[in-house]
Amino acid sequence: MKRRASARNALLWLVVIVALIVTLFPFYWMLNTSFKPASEIFASPPTFLSSHWTLDAYATILSQRPVGRYFLNSLIVSLGATALSVLLAALAAYGFTRFFEGAATAFIVLLLFTKMLPETLLIIPYFRLMSELGLLNTHLALILAYSSFALPFSVWMLIGFFRSIPLEIDEAATIDGASVWQTFFRVILPLARPGLVAVALFTFLIAWNSYVWALVLTTDSSMYVLSVGIANMVGEYRVQWNELMAAAVIATLPVMALYALLERHLVNAITAGAVKG
């Protein structure tokens, strides 16, 4: 029995290692290329572990453009979208599960419906909308846009989550004299923290990685987010792969770090929220 188990384990580990290689090799190559000097990019055979590793590409990028500014913009917009998304979704989820239970599923379906149109179609109307609202070139425009993208999944997740919190808790709080608002804020929300974290991470990811919306809705380069600022470093007539990869590293590292830190919450949250829906 034990031998079968360990043989099976070995096989499983083999599968994992193969899958790991396929999954992670592109990242390794991204890092590898980003550290190469320009003359080595097209070397034949390509170098896997260069002896000429240099930070040239990073230096060029960081000096050519105000990457710090882009980073800050990305951060503001992503955090703003996260806050808005969590707030709206939590309010909506609570409202539906406590007061309009029958309409909850229908609402989720409606939200899903709004996501079925391809992004390209929405670019121009969004621009017009933000233009009319006088929000062009502001952080708020992007915050609003990104929150709207994250809503369907966030609401679905939190509705599932709130459903798993028994009504008895609400009633107990009411009996203790809490108002509806206090019940929501002081009692239920803390219980829903894993779900909120999941929604926050998810929204942050969408906001941080989004490109097309920031491209269209901002014109002032001081408002550019990281993804746009980096894309601008790519001219069609001149693409340095090492610089491009360095830019990709800079853009991806923050999200990776965030997820590594909060990963535990993510699985718990999805477990409790999405699965029981």
Strand residue runs (E) in 40-125: none
Q: In the complex with another protein, which residue's Cβ is closer, 144 or 196?
A: 144
220: left (phi over 0), alpha (psi -120 to 50) or beta: beta
Q: At its nearest, how many Å lie between another protein and the CB of residue 73? A: 14
Q: In the complex with another protein, which residue's Cβ is closer, 76 or 252?
A: 252
Q: In the complex with another protein, which residue's Cβ is closer, 41 or 62?
A: 41
Select from 272, 273, 265, 82 the least CA-distant residue to 159: 273
Q: At its nearest, how many Å lie between another protein and the CB of residue 180? A: 4
Q: In the complex with another protein, which residue's Cβ is closer, 193 or 276?
A: 276
Distance, C-alpha 106 to centroid of its chain = 26
Q: At its nearest, how many Å lie between another protein and the CB of residue 68? A: 16
Q: In the complex with another protein, which residue's Cβ is closer, 35 or 224?
A: 224
Rounded distance between C-alpha atoms, residue 154 and residue 86, angstroms: 7
**Amino acid identity, residue 188?**
I
Count Cβ neighbours within 10 Å for each residue of 191-222 and write b for 16 or more, e otherwise. Answer: ebebbbbbbbbbbbbbbbebeebbbbbbeeee
Q: Which residues are bridge partners to 238 per DSSP? A: 235
Q: At its nearest, how many Å lie between another protein and the CB of residue 76? A: 18
Q: At its nearest, how many Å lie between another protein and the CB of residue 211? A: 6
Q: In the complex with another protein, which residue's Cβ is closer, 44 or 51?
A: 44
45 prior amide bond cis, ω within 30: yes
